[in-house]
Amino acid sequence: MKFDDFRVLTFDCYGTLIDWETGILAVLRPWMERAGISVSDAEILGAFGEAESAAEHDLPTAIYPDVLRATHSRMAKQFGVAPNEAAADLLGKSVGEWPAFQDTSDALKRLQRKFKLVVVSNVDRESFARTQKRLGITFDAVVTAEEVGAYKPDPKMFLRAMEVAKTFGAERENILHVAQSLYHDHVPAKSFGLKTVWVRRPSRAGEFGATKDPGVVVEPDLVVRSMKELADVIGVERGWGVDY
């Protein structure tokens, strides 16, 4: 790719910038232990990925904390235990506590010197406001599921992202979408002809992380293992160096 072609980088947040697996497990593991459910981290995250995707599909206009509460109820049913309202509420409120990956903040600051940065996330405004403080920067724009009334992979999220990018003078060929989830992000982004970067972070849950199997073959334009690697690659490509 010619990185000079891009004006706007759009980002998935949770799983890409935020270590949501650690955040999810910190809430779900204690509940499961109390409920007598003995499963691996990979099984917890796999079940979460399936249940969350189903809840987002069924509740497109619900705010994300309510989606997480519904996700918790689905998981309880899957593992054969009674729903726990208090535990579901704890999961719903936990989003802003999920930690950022260590490389995220510095990489975003480097990238923001050359690009407009736009978050495109399956989240509500209030939860993301708490998350943004952890990321250490202010994004140039934020597109949320709450605003759009739909959750990725719904194309409405990407249509809105492209509208926002236009306000920065970017057409679709000037947008690079950066994300971990093949299911939520790369499949729909590719359907619009967008270039994509797969941040293929190591995961306890295997190739797809805590997300649903996309069910189709999708080929990102670039694969990196971290946000730092992305900033380094772009830095080398444009001759900036990596120490700003």
Catalytic sites, residue numbers: 12
- How far apart are the C-alpha atoms of 200 and 121, rounded to whole Å? 17
Q: What is the dihedral of CA 38, 39, 45, 49, to 10 degrees?
A: -90
CA nearest 197: which of 17, 19, 52? 17
Provide the CA 231 distance to its chain's centre, in angstroms. 18
- Which residues, including other chains, have CB under 8 Å from residue 5's CB and lie 6 or more apart? 173, 174
Two tokens, residue 241 = 């160096």
Question: Which single residue is written with the structure tokens 């202010």?
Answer: 138
- Which residues, including other chains, have CB under 8 Å from residue 239's CB and lie 6 or more apart? none
- How far apart are the C-alpha atoms of 194 and 172, rounded to whole Å? 6
